[in-house]
Structure 1
Amino acid sequence: MGSVIWSLLLVVFLQIYIIAATTDAGDSAALKSLMDEWEKAPPSWVGGDPCGDSWVGIGCNDSRVTSVTLPSMKLVGRLSGDISTLSELQQVDLSYNNGLTGSLPTSIGNLKKLTNLILVGCGFNGPIPDAIGSLSQLRFLSLNSNGFTGRIPPSIGNLSNLYWLDLADNQLEGPIPVSSGSTPGLDMLIHTKHFHFGKNKLSGQIPAQLFSSSMTLIHVLFESNKLTGILPSTLGHVRTLEVVRFDNNSLNGRLPLNINNLTSVHDLFLSNNKLTGPLPNLTQMNSLNTLYLSNNSFDSADVPSWFPALPALTTLMMENTQLRGQIPAIFFELPNLQTVVLKGNQLNGTLDIGQISSNQLQIIDLQNNLITDFNNSDRPYNFDIILVGNPVCDETGTTRSYCNLPPSNSSPLYSTPSQNCLPVPCSSSQISSPLCRCAYPYTGTLNFRGLLFSAFGNSTPYQILEQSLMHFFQSHQLPVDSVSLSDPRMDPNEYFLLNLRAFPYGQESFNRTGISMIAFVFSNQTFKPPDQLFGPYFFRGDEYEHFSDDPANSKKSSIAIKIGAAAGASVLFLLLVLAGIYAYRQKKRAERATKESNPFAHWDPKKSSGSIPQLKGARCFSFEELKKYANNFSEANDIGSGGYGKVYRGTLPTGELIAIKRAQQGSMQGGLEFKTEIELLSRVHHKNVVSLLGFCFERGEQMLIYEYVPNGSLSDSLSGKSGIRMDWTRRLKIALGAARGLAYLHELANPPIIHRDIKSTNILLDERLNAKVADFGLSKPMGDSERGHVTTQVKGTMGYLDPEYYMTQQLTEKSDVYSFGVLMLEIVTARRPIERGKYIVREVRMAMDKTKSLYNLQEILDASMGFAATPKGLEKFVDLAMSCVEESGANRPTMGEVVKEIENIMQLAGMNPNAESASSSATYEEATKGGSLHPYGDDSFAYSGVFPASKIEPQ
């Protein structure tokens, strides 16, 4: 009862505080001008004090308006030029209001502090004002999916801070502007990552000047325009590119040979042009997932020998490209292959699909070629082969399945199933959610402009996307109960479309604030889909018809609330005094209860059990709290187990996910050992070490609470269990992160710590694939008297264990170095240290020949890294690993030296070892303050799977 009274008093106090706020008079007038232009302004826009009256979508700093974020608010009307008088404005997002029409006012150029201008999916038309180029602080410019006409303003080239430029899906025409003399152009945007210009009417040639080696572009999207001429060779100078789309234009001439330099590109779309000449060799493009070259006029040539040299390839589309000859059987052994379409060519001879390696293969479409035989016709296979229109199917009476078109799938390929419940019948226009609750969801369509998979009938990618969406919504504390995806399909522009529904949490419908927050994370690209499956995207939100805060008397209710609050002010002082006394007594009572339930509070330093625990940042959780956070330690929350006990996923009231490591009876440490471990871990704070958040030591329970690390263990990824693509650059980055974490423990922690159990299952990967050293159950702190070594019982994991430590029982930091060397070999071979009785260190030593390519280790190294060309730095990486596993610890490097050497190897491979990953868990409030998040960087969000089952293993 007391807590209820206290909550009510806080509400009254906050309401009075809000009424006391005052908005700058000029800003208030500007917002009223906007409201006068709109037929359906939000109902909360009443009163004369937008900041004080909490107008939906209006953000303020003191008395000044700094943001107007109103996506999906059913706004109708025009954008008043008076918006320019909001001189402190930093964010404008009016996306998904297709009732907003008319032209952008030229005066928008007066908003000198504007960082984000986002107008996705509205009805704006007319030319984009040249004054846009005077917004010197602009970082996000998203005007896509409107009706803008005219030319691209050259003045955009003045926006030196621009990160995101999206003008796609408009009616823009004319040439691509580049700089000339004092006239700016797009070539000046060397810091911009995203050029999105697809689905316009741009014409003329692509200026060679547009691209240069100083650019940092990752997306160049010019699909579905009217561009002519050649693809300039300068494109090959932009080594940072990941997605390139020039399909559906009228480009001609030869492809530049140096396109092979784009080793980071995973989506290359050049279909439906008039390209001629030979196909360039793409051997070096070992990150290539999707290759679209259909409907061009390349010179008639045999099937390229580089086809099998693309280890990451999932989709090959080369219809009507004059290919001839036979497809090598080894091509079909590519491990990630899903779709092969080579219709309308001159392929001949016998088709041999060899030994299919990919379990994701869906279709091999070779219609209308000259194939005379099929070697594997009697072998069962679970994918479609189409040979209709080939001589092999021309025999009278042929009934083979491959000589018939497969039936079209009329049913949806995927729709989110219910989660262990029966869908309930819903009244009116409500829909049953995956949790079987009737509600009014917020809906829209995800449009992916690039895609790293094509097996649309496979449910795994959609489940991964659902998990990443819910992880994002929960970590950002958005009011979403569940999400569903449905109707995956490809549109004529080769965009992959998915219908999305987001269901409200704890109520039947969203209020305007909830819709605004959800829509904003899509329009502002704050949400990033898992980058190992999904590429660049945009979202088209539907109008929401069921706002929970839309009562007809909303204005009267607001006035009544203010009158009631003012009346309550007369007794507020007395109530606050009474509540303060009550709160003080409750606090004292809670402190007494905590002391009674927490054994650490009674720690007696006089009874040979050590001093009072010295904890730095670790929180003491009660058993009841953790029971609630882990859903009563239910089986659904059980995400791992081992000799010590079980690991449960939990959710704090803030929405933050945690991992709860709960000891089982019989495996628990003594109180002193448990206290020592917590003291040790509470002092460890490093981005490459898993953070201890707290502990529980009551009711006979011992539990450790860690940060939740979503992408499982390194072991899961190397084995393929996680589904994360482990190319060479990612392996290097993970090795560096793990080395830095271990070096921190050895050299900077106080006291220094020897981990004693470095292995791939104890290296966890976060949402950006940053490595984190985990599991300190065997760790040993090194006091000043033990700096050389400490004699101790041998503990660790066979295969990783230092033989010198095993023989002498003398533990040093070099014992961890040995384990890390074994880990490095595991990283490049994807083999367990001891596998089928063979020890990886011995196997590498015996096979290693430095006079030969790749040190003669081709049979041992993991082929999924790709060996069309030697990965840069791989041989030096092996050298470093072998120096770490020297028999004598004195001959091994320190972890600090290992870190420096891996940094040198990364620089040799063209990577920046000091590049920081953008955060994927910034709060909504942070996102709306003008800070931009990197939507599709190398470190973008990966599979948000369960906490690794292998995290806890028997020791």
Structure 2
Amino acid sequence: MRVSDNLIDMVYIRNLRNCSLEGPALDASGIPQLGYLDISWNQLTGRIPSGKLASNITTIDLSHNRLNGSIPGSFSGLPNLQRLSMDNNNLDGSVPSDVWQNIDFSGNRSLILDFHNNALTNLSNPLTPPANVTILLSGNPICTSQNQLNISQYCQSISVVVPGGSTNNNTLCPPCSTDLPYENILRSPISCLCAIPLYVDYRLKSPGFWDFVPYEAEFQYYLSSGLSLSSYQLEVSTFMWEEGPRLMNLKLFPNNTALFNSGEVLRLRDMFTGWLITDSDIFGPYELIDFIPGWYENVLPRRTKSSLSTGATVGIVIAAFAAAAILSSLITLIILRRRSSQISKRRIAKRIQMKIEGVKDLTFEELSKCTSNFSDSALIGQGGYGKVYRGVLADGTGAAVKRTQQGSLQGSEEFFTEIELLSRLHHRNLVSLVGYCDEDNEQMLVYEYMPNGTLRDHLSAKAKEALSFPMRLRIALGSSRGILYLHTEADPPIYHRDIKTSNILLDSKFVAKVADFGLSRLAPLPEMEGVAPGHVSTVVKGTPGYLDPEYFLTHNLTDKSDVYSLGVVFLELLTGMQPISHGKNLVREVVTANQSGMILPVVDTRMGPCPWECVERFAALGLRCCRDETDARPSMTEVVRELEMIWQMALETDSVPLELESESVSMDPSRTGTQLSSSSA
């Protein structure tokens, strides 16, 4: 397989695993930043390409294919390599003896070379790897001469692991000693090694996928790398992948020994409790439920007992309280004097309490300066809430400043409650709140700035460049993931109730981010019996053309109200038409076209070539979301799952993201008489 231009900037290639690919192996030598390559469990044939791979690559997995020929020398000298898996192929010739050259094995670095179940017959040179290198050769003809070649330690049998299953190289190991809570390290390069683990209860708050199994190995690599551990030291013991919480129990094992030292236990604890593990675009932010030292509780440093007498201790405590009271009084007096001319005492108390991590408390003067005194040249939007200005904060951060008009001012308590709620919402597909201002009868919210504007701008007939179908599909998927997060991950859950293309913003890479929660409504919380009402009764708010008909008639807002609005957005993406234009209703127009078998003429021809099967399923999903009956609409979970399947179909059409070369919908006259099946639409 030749490297397409669209793969040149790839860092991880993981979605080609277990995809029934045939033909020659991918030549990845032309991908300069590649760090992870997994094309295992396919039917690839022929020789392995001999081109030199990127120096920062850590993992190469070509296992479980039908590759033949010798192992090329280009795998030697890769300084960051941690795993080279070529097992279960038809490779012959020599076992390489210099793959570990140029690798620094200081600290916890290790290297696994898995060549088992091939046809390797000899050594290029005697095998003298460093202690941190594991070589697996079982199932090769060379192991029939293991004693003469002194390679018996590399020819021990190991178990075979199916994709997505638990790895266990120690199924035949004897039980560990029971005098201490030892466990087998399932993937240890040292056979049958027993050790005492640490336990971590961990939660992914908003991962960018639905099914965890295909991503389990990559998650282990991501988290172990973030903790500076070898991948075998981390085991996902159990996971619960349900709507809402994604909980998992992790085990951390020491490196090639039975016990952690106390310093390493403290380091790992601080990594989790200090939130020092970098968030991933794939796995999203995490939440630490519990860090359980277990047996290591006994070896952690304890506080030394004070040698002071009881009387001395009491005296110190009383003196400390007195000093603290005096100091507190002085500080309070100074603060009151400095601010009395600007803010009331009640506002001072509120500001002292309102210290939210990650959200800046900005002054009116700061925001006026960053927006050129709220000049018209900085105005980028206007709505019922007020005007939105583009600005640059003092630290150089681009920002969108939403200034409330006088009639929309909230009470201070209500305003701070909204800020506290918005500050807890963290998702790749939601616009982030970065600051606020509540001063001198001014209330402003400050959000991250989105340089590519709104989705509405790019669907307009005046847009300079039309969005391709892959970009529209990716925007639909990103927006849906953001809404799903609001419904299932936000605490408390939130119904947006004003989803529309002008509230979907696009960052510099055209990643979709849902915006404007000013009209949002908290979803109903469970009652004492644990059952939540199905709706919220509310005054109807929203935008004509996007409103759920049942919400409009009954005033009952549900999660399916957001689904309806999002369905209208999908139909806009499909057709390029506005929800209401020249007396025509978009939903009614598309439904009529589908019922008459004429769906093709309403598809936006500006999208260019696109795979019809994907267009068909996307149209069907949009129509399902826009059903009049609430119960007939899919849930947001089902919407995201269907979009992920359509996206995967689009990728498989041309095996590359964002540019799908397939039949053009505008050039297939046989489609003009096609109607989407009633079961799907």
Q: Taking structure 2 as the reference length, what is the TM-score of the superposition?
A: 0.46
Q: Taking structure 1 as the reference length, what is the TM-score of the superposition?
A: 0.34
Structure possessing the higher relative contact order (Cα contacts under 8 Å, 6 or more residues apart): 1
